[in-house]
Homo-oligomer: A and B are copies of this chain.
């Protein structure tokens, strides 16, 4: 549990920084602060959503694939337009992260999540559950998301095209 100086092995600072990043990720989405949310990603980044079943069977057919930051920004623009007609509140609950592996400057983590949605009548339902598999990288002094793979347990995600998970 002791950290050698400069080591980016699983350590205290790293773990708290990972937790901070996940908390920001969910919190900023739920607040609708999409520009700040985009700022959590590295300049070169990849965001994809896959049904977990496909992933387990080695079928890498993504429901969503943004393999650079421009695509992710476009997606957020589309989201803002779509959400004018799909008014709801999202609430992300993200579990404690597992550190899958770490090497200098990079940490691979996994974290379970559940997203609840509340409609205009104020009814809250479980919207989706799944697992984040993130590659996080140090960008200067800050940890940023280089790759985010959202493995989705739930199949029928009705407004998937509009809601980032």
Residues of A participating in the B interface, judged by any CB pair closer than 8 Å? 1, 10, 12-13, 15-17, 19-20, 22-24, 26-27, 30, 51-53, 89, 91-99, 110-114, 116, 118, 121-126, 128-131, 141, 153-156
Contact = CB atoms under 8 A, between A and B. Distances in A.
A126 B153 CA distance: 13
B91 A94 contact: no
Stoichiometry, copies per complex = 3
**Majority SS at the chain A contact face:** mixed
A109 B20 CA distance: 12
A157 to B, nearest CB: 9
A126 B118 CA distance: 12
A124 B123 contact: no
Given A123-B155, A124-B128, A91 B118 contact: no
A91 B131 contact: yes
Nearest to A116: B129
Contacts of A96: 19-20, 22-23, 26, 94, 96
A153 B124 contact: yes
Contacts of A92: 95, 112
Given A1-B17, A1-B141, A17-B1, A118 B154 contact: yes
Contacts of A98: 20, 23-24, 27
Contact of A116 (B10, B17, B91, B153): B153
